[in-house]
A = this chain, B = another copy of it.
Amino acid sequence: MSNHFADRLCESVKTRKTSLIVGLDPVYNRLPTAITGHRQMNDEFDAAAAVDAIFDFCTQTMRIIAPMVPGVKINIAYFEKYLWEGIETYYSLINEADDLGLEIIGDVKRGDIGHTAELYASAHLENPELTGLEDTITPDAITVNGYTGADGIEPFAEMATKQGKGIFVLVRTSNSSAAAIQDFTDTDGQRMYEKLAELVSEIANKPERIGKNGYSNVGMVVGGTSPDVTTALRRKYGKIWFLVPGYGSQGASAADCIRFCKPDGTGALINASRSIIYAYEKPQYKGLFGDDWKKCIEQAVIDAKIDLATAMQAKL
């Protein structure tokens, strides 16, 4: 396995023949009753029971998807809700995901400057060498908020590079109110997010960050819902991996999302969360597989892969 994050992504995307990754956003009340009905996990108001159920669900889900997709994105907010109990579960899941050979993106959106940024980078990208935590591993990459500028991004990029890992910096999000800030436009017609993308690109293009496939370990998060944004960024930043939320439940189509991919399929990770992990709630899958929630998830992954592959073929 390569010790460069971007090279591992290339390999894994080519082997699994897809840019699709699965986002784990587990909410106790939406878990299958086969899990929450278990007598040790049937109390949503008991922190230990709730995180056990979430751990069980996520682990079983990852076993289903691991042979089919290059990675998972784990959203730490769903774990922070359970305070330290949740954080322990979050790191346990990372160990499980690693055993399954998945690339793991910790969706933590941390951001700060100086020593504080270094500490966040250490917590989320460095495997702790501390008695009591020595068996814990950290994600292969994390998401970073870059509002504080280069000072706030570089400590994360440095740590990621040292550890053979990666970061994805939030550049353009797909929520409706993002434009007020991120599309703020200067006298030269440059937008705020374009300025930030430029700044991320400078950090990403340092020679020590580029892998043998020509990609940097420093990437960008860009929502899939604005096709014009997408095409321009893909063309301009050839060395960048894009992490693309918004496919599936959030309304971005396969055609929108695959604009971030190069013709060989590399260059973007297209994330679907709820449309996959809660597939068993949908009549289309329930009708086919009844209460077999795992089969529903498996089929949803297959369908999403076909959807993306078809869109990719149509583009070529």
Contact = CB atoms under 8 A, between A and B. Distances in A.
Interface of A: 25, 43, 45-48, 50, 75, 77-78, 80-88, 91, 109-117, 119-120, 122-124, 128-133, 136, 145-152, 170, 173, 175-182, 184-187, 192, 195-196, 199
Q: Which of A83, A145, A187 has the most CB of B within 10 A?
A: A83
Contact of A151 (B43, B175, B186): B175
A147 B145 contact: yes
* Smallest CB-CB A-B distances: 4 pairs: A149-B177, A47-B132, A84-B88, A80-B123
Given A178-B151, A186-B187, A195-B184, A83 B114 contact: no
30 contacts: A25-B115, A43-B131, A46-B130, A46-B131, A77-B123, A78-B116, A80-B120, A81-B122, A81-B123, A83-B91, A83-B136, A113-B173, A145-B147, A146-B147, A147-B181, A148-B175, A148-B178, A148-B181, A149-B175, A149-B177, A149-B178, A150-B177, A150-B180, A151-B177, A152-B175, A181-B192, A181-B196, A181-B199, A184-B192, A184-B195
Given A147-B182, A179-B149, A192-B192, A123 B45 contact: no
A181 B147 CA distance: 7
A145 to B, nearest CB: 5
A94 B178 CA distance: 33
B177 A130 contact: no
B184 A132 contact: no
Given A78-B119, A84-B87, A87-B87, A149 B46 contact: no
A170 B147 contact: yes
B84 A91 contact: yes
Contacts of A196: 181
Contacts of A187: 185-187
Contact of A133 (B85, B88, B117, B148): B85
A175 B115 CA distance: 12
A195 B180 CA distance: 8
Contacts of A123: 77, 80-83, 86
